[in-house]
């Protein structure tokens, strides 16, 4: 999924002539701590609720307010994973999307992005989660997929976490599978020398609430 598809059309973009009070009202209305500031179609940065709350004059225009992330944005053709990395690295609530001509196209919110990311990982699908601990030199997704599928089980998504420097045997491979009963899969993998660190037989997720999103964010940021 690309940035152009992730734009939230409901999020407004602020203008330099808008007041501090108006910006705070919009942030409260949309339950978000940041909004993008544009000037005649050009991206000028992000305005933060935390900074605006310290300004006593609610009529002061945003042109006089400190802006964040003036050089941080994404283009319409950037992938979801790239955007996720940017947002996590900079702890952003929103990120601006620009077109090829560097004109503002819209805003992506971190919460909506996390929901899309969770859907890409198959979080809402019924099935088990399997975590393998392995040496990086033993990592072969083709081989692991073959062993899993030999039990008539499919891998919905996977996530590989490299080991810390000097600890090559501490890499992790997280697999989301399409079955809850994965005892045969575990037996097969162990028979071929793979170490199972943990296994979870999850039920379908009916909705992704903020607590779950925060948990996912903490996991991805470790």
The β-bridge partners of 95 are 108
pLDDT of residue 76 exceeding 70, the answer is: yes
The structure tokens listed for 105 are 């196209």
Note whether 53 and 98 are same-domain residues: yes
Asked whether residue 24 is domain-assigned, the answer is yes
Q: Tell me the residue range of the domain where 129 lies.
A: 122-202
d(CA 81, CA 167): 26
Q: Which residue has the higher pLDDT, 136 or 5?
A: 5
Smallest Cα–Cα separation from 91: which of 74, 106, 110? 110
Note whether 139 and 73 are same-domain residues: no
Helix ranges restricted to H, 48-182: 49-52, 80-90, 110-120, 141-149
Note whether 88 and 192 are same-domain residues: no
Number of domains in the chain: 2
Contact residues for 148 (Cβ-Cβ < 8 A; gap 6+): 154, 155, 175, 177, 185, 188, 189
User: What's the pLDDT tens digit per position in 12-54?
Assistant: 999 999 999 999 999 999 999 999 999 999 999 999 999 999 9
Boundary-marking domain end, from 84, 118, 152 = 118
- How confident is the model over 111-121, as a mean pLDDT? 79
């Amino acid at each position: 999924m690309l940035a152009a598809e992730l734009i939230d059309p409901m999020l407004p973009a602020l203008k330099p002539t808008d007041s501090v009070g108006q910006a705070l009202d919009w942030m409260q209305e949309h339950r978000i701590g940041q909004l993008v500031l544009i000037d005649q179609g050009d991206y000028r940065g992000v305005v933060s609720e935390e900074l605006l709350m310290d300004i006593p004059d609610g009529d002061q225009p945003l042109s006089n307010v400190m802006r964040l992330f003036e050089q941080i944005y994404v283009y319409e053709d950037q992938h979801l994973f790239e955007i996720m990395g940017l947002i996590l690295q900079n702890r952003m609530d929103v990120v601006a999307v620009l077109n090829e001509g560097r004109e503002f196209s819209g805003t992506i919110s971190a919460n909506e992005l996390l929901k899309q990311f969770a859907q890409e990982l198959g979080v809402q699908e019924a099935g088990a989660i399997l975590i393998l601990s392995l040496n990086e030199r033993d990592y072969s997704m083709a081989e692991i997929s073959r062993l899993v599928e030999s039990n008539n089980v499919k891998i919905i998504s996977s996530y590989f976490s490299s080991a810390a420097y000097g600890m090559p045997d501490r890499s992790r491979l997280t697999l989301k599978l399409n079955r809850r009963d994965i005892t045969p899969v575990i037996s097969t993998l162990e028979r071929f020398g793979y170490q199972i660190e943990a296994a979870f037989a999850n039920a379908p997720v009916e909705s992704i609430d903020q607590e779950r999103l925060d948990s996912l964010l903490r996991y991805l940021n470790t």
